[in-house]
Amino acid sequence: MKLYNTLTRKKDEFKPITPKKVKMYVCGPTVYNYFHIGNGRTFIVFDTIRRYFQYRGYEVEFIQNFTDIDDKMINKAKDENTTVKEIGDKYISEYYKDADALNIKRATVNPRATEYIEDIIDFVKTLIEKRFAYEIDGDVYFSTKKFDSYGKLSGQNLENLQAGARINVDERKKDPMDFAIWKTQKPGEPAWKSPWGMGRPGWHIECSCMVKKLLGDTIDIHAGGMDLSFPHHENEIAQSESLTGKPFANYWLHSAFVNINNQKMSKSLNNFFTARDILKEYDADVVRFLMLSAHYRIQLNFSKELLDSAKSSMERLYNTVSNLENLLDEITKQNLDNEEENYLNSLDKYRDKYIEKMDDDFNTADAISVLFELSKDVNTNIDIYSSKELVKKALELVRELGEPLGILQKTTKISLEDEIEALIEARQNARKNKNFAMSDKIRDDLKARGIMLEDTAQGVRWKKN
């Protein structure tokens, strides 16, 4: 498997630290609002990568944090006249609702930064002891000059970074590129007791600390949105490698933005759609299809037209599922004959091609094309004269290749309950319209299927004989 590594700026062969295991950390949301579909893309992309590793037989330890203390959280708590903790609790539970609805698998652990304050303090203490960090009036800064390879992720040296960066001017810092790892309390802010007085952690140190606590000194993959590579990830590397003296992450993966009119979708620009609102109109399969129809390192310019076209593509794929599901009900021939066996074997080429595409830096766009090729082949070659075994195997293959993408897992069959409820409603309407022939027919048809209707004071009940 090859993956594009931001650290080496090329596609590297994936070599796990422990055979067949992946330790993976993804920077998660700041929980002060519902997430938008830009954030959603990042979550969907790394969920897909995680699923694909599992599909290829890896055991994945997948950590995605919640940033539950920072300026945005504090401001939101002020606006809503509540505590930062309450805001965090609320939007974490809302995160799970939307992520579950998007078919994003739950992480192995979703650590909250505020649950690691003691460990963060120890981390900061050690960095000071090792002279990588210094304290001034209750603030602690990381000294970028002390870390020789600072800038290696962004591929720049300190001088270039300094010239290009928009850095907050803080006279007290020894160097403008130094960054805060502990911040002294401002009036009204939540704070924790530390050797440097009451304060709170900086954002970068939280991730460094949670990675170390949950996954260890060196991990396989560290990931996040493209905007995080500098300074967030650069600073995480500096802190962690200074502390442990070991490489922090072997592979760095960054996913590209969702844009609106060629501008990054973001809460601050107010040009966003929440995942929740989109899911009111479109199915999770459609949203995932849209996000995965472009390679994860290519920006996606979001529009409703694009969503609609994803919707019709997804309908085409589900038509295949529906055809196969219906055939399974109707077909009488049971076992494969020789010709069918050969045909079934020929379908393996789609799996091979799919794996080849996904093994090449998770090319989901091409993997989706393979799904369409498979679907076309199956639609042309499988019909009512095929055997049940063949139909079943073809359907399994469609679902198998859909699973890492988190699509095509649903059934197109209406459940018995839904079907009967719909028929009961149709019967009530027929009665209202005095179409008794129709209402009697519905009742008799159901009776023939062993479903008895009973008119009660609470409405119509049904039971199966």
Residue number, 120 or 321, with CB nearest to ligand AMP: 120
Binding site partner of 29, from Zn ion, ligand AMP, none, Cβ cut-off 5-8 A by kind: ligand AMP
Q: Tell me how far apart the alpha carbons of residues 349 and 103 are, in angstroms, rounded to a whole number.
A: 28
Residue 403 DSSP class: G
Asked if 228 touches ligand AMP (CB under 6 A), the answer is yes
Residue number, 222 or 427, with CB nearest to ligand AMP: 222
Taking residues 23 to 52 in sequence order and writing x for each that binds Zn ion by CB under 5 A, - otherwise, the string is ----x-------------------------
Question: Which H/E stretch holds residue 432?
Answer: helix 416-432
Binding part of the chain for ligand AMP, among 135-143, 225-233, 314-322, 431-439 by CB under 6 A, reads: 225-233
Asked if 107 touches Zn ion (CB under 5 A), the answer is no
Residue 27 in marked binding region:
yes
Q: Among 210, 258, 327, 370, indicate the residue that binds ligand AMP (CB under 6 A).
A: 258
Question: What residues have CB less than 8 Å from 431, skipping those under 6 apart?
Answer: 439
Residue 180 DSSP class: E
Asked if 39 touches ligand AMP (CB under 6 A), the answer is yes
Instruction: Tell me the closest approach of the beta carbon of residue 223 to ligand AMP, in angstroms.
Output: 8
Binding site partner of 173, from ligand AMP, Zn ion, none, Cβ cut-off 5-8 A by kind: none
Cβ proximity of 205 and 243 under 8 Å? no
Instruction: Tell me the closest approach of the beta carbon of residue 74 to ligand AMP, in angstroms.
Output: 15
Closest CA to 372 of 458, 310, 461, 429: 310
Residue 207 in marked binding region:
yes
Asked if 257 touches ligand AMP (CB under 6 A), the answer is yes
Q: Tell me how far apart the alpha carbons of residues 377 and 382 are, in angstroms, rounded to a whole number.
A: 8
Binding part of the chain for Zn ion, among 131-139, 205-213, 275-283, 423-431 by CB under 5 A, reads: 205-213
Asked if 278 touches Zn ion (CB under 5 A), the answer is no
Asked if 225 touches ligand AMP (CB under 6 A), the answer is yes
Q: Tell me how far apart the alpha carbons of residues 217 and 244 are, in angstroms, rounded to a whole number.
A: 7
Closest CA to 215 of 430, 17, 421: 17
Residue number, 79 or 356, with CB nearest to ligand AMP: 79
Residue number, 24 or 265, with CB nearest to ligand AMP: 265
Asked if 224 touches ligand AMP (CB under 6 A), the answer is yes
Binding site partner of 41, from Zn ion, ligand AMP, none, Cβ cut-off 5-8 A by kind: ligand AMP
Binding part of the chain for ligand AMP, among 39-47, 96-104, 109-117, 304-312 by CB under 6 A, reads: 39-47
Q: Tell me how far apart the alpha carbons of residues 182 and 52 are, in angstroms, rounded to a whole number.
A: 38
What are the distances in angstroms from CA 22 to CA 106, 246, 366? 16, 18, 24
CA torsion, ordered 148, 211, 202, 66, to nearest 10 deg: 150
Angle separating helix axes 364-381 and 348-359, nearest 10 degrees: 170
Closest CA to 318 of 272, 348, 283: 283
Place of tokens 């609320």: 90
Binding part of the chain for ligand AMP, among 5-13, 164-172, 259-267, 403-411 by CB under 6 A, reads: 259-267
Number of Cβ within a 10 Å radius of residue 293: 17
Kindly state the number of chain residues that form the binding site for ligand AMP, as judged by CB under 6 A. 17
Instruction: Tell me the closest approach of the beta carbon of residue 223 to Zn ion, in angstroms.
Output: 10
C-beta contacts of 457-465 below 8 A and 24+ residues apart: 460/424, 460/427, 460/428, 462/420, 462/424
Binding site partner of 258, from Zn ion, ligand AMP, none, Cβ cut-off 5-8 A by kind: ligand AMP
Degrees to nearest 5, angle at CA 114 with 108 and 120? 95
Instruction: Tell me the closest approach of the beta carbon of residue 202 to ligand AMP, in angstroms.
Output: 14
Asked if 73 touches Zn ion (CB under 5 A), the answer is no
Taking residues 379 to 408 in sequence order and writing x for each that binds ligand AMP by CB under 6 A, - otherwise, the string is ------------------------------
Question: What residues have CB less than 8 Å from 295, skipping those under 6 apart?
Answer: 361, 362, 363, 364, 365
Residue number, 69 or 424, with CB nearest to Zn ion: 69
Q: Tell me how far apart the alpha carbons of residues 51 and 70 are, in angstroms, rounded to a whole number.
A: 31
Binding part of the chain for ligand AMP, among 22-30, 80-88, 109-117, 419-427 by CB under 6 A, reads: 22-30
Binding part of the chain for ligand AMP, among 11-19, 75-83, 256-264, 289-297 by CB under 6 A, reads: 256-264
Q: What size, in residues, is the chain?
A: 465
Q: Tell me how far apart the alpha carbons of residues 177 and 168 are, in angstroms, rounded to a whole number.
A: 9
Q: Tell me how far apart the alpha carbons of residues 48 and 336 are, in angstroms, rounded to a whole number.
A: 34
Asked if 27 touches ligand AMP (CB under 6 A), the answer is yes
Binding site partner of 199, from ligand AMP, Zn ion, none, Cβ cut-off 5-8 A by kind: none
Site residues, Zn ion (CB under 5 A)? 27, 207
Binding residues for ATP: 267
Site residues, ligand AMP (CB under 6 A)? 27, 29-30, 38-39, 41-42, 67, 224-225, 227-228, 257-258, 264-266
Binding residues for Zn(2+): 27, 207, 232, 236
